[in-house]
Structure 1
Amino acid sequence: MSSRGLWADVRLRAAWARQDWAAILREYRRSAGISQRDLEPLVGMPQPHISAIESGRRRVTSAEVMARITEGLSVPPELTAVARRPELDEWGPPVALRERIAHGHATGRTDLHTADWIGEVLAQHRRAEDEIGGLDLRPVVRSQLDAVTLLIPAASGPVADRLMLLAAEHAHWLSWVAAKQQRMGAALAWIDVAHGWAVDGGHPDMASWVHRIRSHYSLRVGDPVRALRTAEAAREHTGVSPAARSVAAHTAGMAAAAVGERDRARRLADEALRLALRVPAERDRPGWLYWLTPIRAQLAVADTAFACRDWQAAADGIRAALPDLGAYPRDRAYYQARMEDAARRVC
């Protein structure tokens, strides 16, 4: 695998975002499958020095050593920007970022190799977020977004639209991580930016999805009326795929249950399941809905049953589907707790 390919590894990128030099060396070796001896010619340091750094006996404080490691390990440009720009620690979207997007759709040509690469690593970030969280990766994703938006002013037509979607996906990811850190102002700012970019780029699935995320935020803070209204807007968005409509219907169902409209919630849950079963293959769903398998769709029905206080249906539905959920530790814990709670209430 090339050095650049190694840097798609999420744990390696997270170590870089923390500027944890010991972890950078360890994670690079793990990803590459090499020994400390193999690392010697890359970073220009003897194995005992590498061992001392990895074990914490020696700290990396010299700019020259940092530069040697950065160059020797072929750190991608979008990551080196993280180290150069401490302002990336800011949570909300800056004005300069929006300015670059505002000048998009110009006549010109742009090299899409960088965008292709960043799209691949964002997909890996999404899949890893359930296990390692997004806080360490946030500055990395923020820097990736800069790399994407810098390409837009030179792009036109379908290329510009494609870049707008990639920018919207990054903004959505940043919103999600901000919300998990209870920074709801920043979360809403990023999700609004994502929606605007999705609409400008002509991407109805993403436009619908970010409405669904706003609905989820409203439901989480105890405003089911607003959540229901926003989720319905996500469902009714023109040109939306079955997968995106499915998750919007599920969220609308949860909100309907929260306002006491249980029959409506059950109908929406059934609709969500039907739509999800139309696209069982991952390749037929938007990239950010990679997780919407038939099993997840069945668990969503059970989740709606729980919200409707149909305890037996909730417990039975989760019990039947949970063993096949796969490697989603946080979701597994969530559904396990729901199942046990529902089972207690049945008794």
Structure 2
Amino acid sequence: MQAAPIASVVWLWAAPEAATAIATRDLPTILRAYRRVNGLNQIQLGELLGYDSSYISMIETGRRPITDVTARRHIAGRLGIPAHVLGITGTDDAEFRAMLQFGDSTVRLAEIARQSGHAAEAVNELWPLVARLEARAAEGHLERDSLVLLAQARVGLGVSLGAVLPEERLSSAARWTGQAVTIAARLDDPMFRAYTLRMHGNELRKAGHPAAAVARLKESKELSRDPAALGGTLAFMCRAFGVLGDAERFDTALHEYRTLLEGNTGSGLLFQPFTLREIELRGLLCTGRAAEAGRLVHVQAGRPAAPQWRIIERVTTGEVLAAVNELDSAAVFFEDAIEDAEHRRLPHQIQRAIRATAQAGLDELATEARAALARIRSLLGSGRSE
């Protein structure tokens, strides 16, 4: 099953030069960068914008400055760039005030979209809000409400990017969540700070920095009071200890998680039996206890709270089954996970499947997974928003 095209704004994180070009706020620079990142020539960019290629050439070389507000708004919309980046609106206009008024709702709806398996759409919703708030902060407008909203939006953007970007780009997600931690440290709100530390810790782990992740998660644990929040922190700690291969600390965190869950009703994506089982399976495998994971893999525990958790569990189950040499069963889980991950546009899970299938000698599946990843990469670089 081929994935639907990724929302256009994700191109901003497909290559480092994209964000650099956006920061210049210079239209010719942005257009040239857009073409390079997406592999387009001037004819193709002209087709996207509805302009002749010679007109694109004149814009890029500065021979045809675009001063018309309608034209700039049209270009911004087609490229997924917030209008103010091209100088169309100021940060104190009615549009900005409305954005602030409905900012909390934007963040909440984006979170619902991400948890429902639509992380690219969440990025598309959050990026304009973040960009406008960043611009206001840069001008010295640091009202508390704006700062809180900016931190919330930064976390949401970072976590959503952590779902739609491939592994080599996950540092972008960690940077955004890290910037939210910086703001939270200035606010007198321990629960919110615990939340930002928890999410930043997990993005650090995914970006390949498990020791740094543990440090952030320890801070979050000290500040967490709500069982679901503490459970989420413990879930991420288990992940990080597993990556580090630290069996003792993994077992301790897992025991705390299980005890907490037994005494409280599970809620959310991270604090429930299905998540506990998946975390335990992966941790046992990472800490060299494949046989123990192999016994647990056939024990079911509830249903996933979100589509992406089903995919995560499918890959993990495939890894465990392959490790205990149940290759036929492993192949079934991997095939299901690869197809669903492409449909949900989760490149990181496909990359996990590529490594696992290649290691298990499931060469046909590994080839299938690489093809699925290539299709998602193509969408990441296309800037399409159909």
Same fold (TM over 0.5): yes
- Comparing 16-25 with 235-244, greater Cα deviation is found at 16-25
Alignment pair present for 1:174 and 2:210? no
Partners in 2 of 1:23 and 1:212 — Cα distance?
Answer: 41
The match for 1:21 is 23
- Comparing 335-344 with 207-216, greater Cα deviation is found at 335-344
SS of structure 2 residue aligned to 1:274: coil
Q: How far 1:261 sits from its partner (Å)?
A: 5.3
The match for 2:106 is none
Alignment pair present for 1:252 and 2:291? no
SS of structure 2 residue aligned to 1:291: helix
- Are the counterparts in 2 of residues 224 and 259 from structure 1 also a CA contact under 8 Å? yes
Distance 1:119 1:258, change over 3 A: closer
Which of the numbers 335, 338, 343 marks the counterpart of 2:356? 338
Q: How far 1:342 sits from its partner (Å)?
A: 2.6
SS of structure 1 residue aligned to 2:171: coil
Q: How far 1:20 sits from its partner (Å)?
A: 5.1
Which of the numbers 305, 310, 317 marks the counterpart of 1:301? 317
Which of the numbers 143, 156, 169 marks the counterpart of 2:179? 143
Which of the numbers 298, 318, 332 marks the counterpart of 2:334? 318
1:192-239 deviation line (CA, Å, top 9, x unaligned): 12222323xx2x233222222222222223333432332232222242
The match for 2:266 is 241
Partners in 2 of 1:296 and 1:263 — Cα distance?
Answer: 20
Which of the numbers 274, 289, 294 marks the counterpart of 2:301? 274
- Are the counterparts in 2 of residues 172 and 210 from structure 1 also a CA contact under 8 Å? yes
The match for 2:152 is 119
- Are the counterparts in 2 of residues 314 and 342 from structure 1 also a CA contact under 8 Å? no
In structure 1, the gaps of 5 or more residues are: 1-8, 37-44, 51-65, 85-109, 154-159, 283-289
AA of the residue aligned to 1:227: F
- Are the counterparts in 2 of residues 15 and 23 from structure 1 also a CA contact under 8 Å? no
The match for 1:197 is 223
Partners in 1 of 2:86 and 2:281 — Cα distance?
Answer: 55
AA of the residue aligned to 1:217: A
Using CA pairs under 8 Å that are at least 6 residues apart, name the structure with larger relative contact order, 1 or 2.
2
1:22-67 deviation line (CA, Å, top 9, x unaligned): 478649xx9xx9999xxxxxxxx996389xxxxxxxxxxxxxxx99
Q: How far 1:324 sits from its partner (Å)?
A: 1.8
Partners in 1 of 2:322 and 2:232 — Cα distance?
Answer: 23
AA of the residue aligned to 1:333: Q
The match for 2:44 is none
Identity of aligned residues (%): 12
RMSD across aligned positions (CA): 4.6
SS of structure 2 residue aligned to 1:241: coil
Partners in 2 of 1:185 and 1:321 — Cα distance?
Answer: 29
The match for 1:327 is 345
Q: How far 1:118 sits from its partner (Å)?
A: 4.5
The match for 1:128 is 161
Partners in 1 of 2:175 and 2:265 — Cα distance?
Answer: 31
Partners in 2 of 1:180 and 1:114 — Cα distance?
Answer: 26
SS of structure 2 residue aligned to 1:304: helix
- Are the counterparts in 2 of residues 305 and 311 from structure 1 also a CA contact under 8 Å? yes
- Are the counterparts in 2 of residues 208 and 248 from structure 1 also a CA contact under 8 Å? no
- Are the counterparts in 1 of residues 158 and 176 from structure 2 also a CA contact under 8 Å? no
AA of the residue aligned to 2:281: G
Distance 1:47 1:167, change over 3 A: farther
1:287-336 deviation line (CA, Å, top 9, x unaligned): xxx722x3443333223223434333222321234212221112112213
The match for 1:226 is 249
AA of the residue aligned to 2:350: R
Q: How does 1:279-290 map to 2 (within 5 A)?
A: 279=305, 282=306
- Are the counterparts in 2 of residues 253 and 265 from structure 1 also a CA contact under 8 Å? yes
Partners in 2 of 1:143 and 1:79 — Cα distance?
Answer: 14
Distance 1:169 1:307, change over 3 A: farther
Report how many residues are paired: 262
- Are the counterparts in 2 of residues 78 and 144 from structure 1 also a CA contact under 8 Å? no
Distance 1:80 1:212, change over 3 A: same
Q: How far 1:170 sits from its partner (Å)?
A: 2.1
- The alignment's TM-score, normalised by the length of structure 1, stands at 0.57
The match for 2:239 is 216
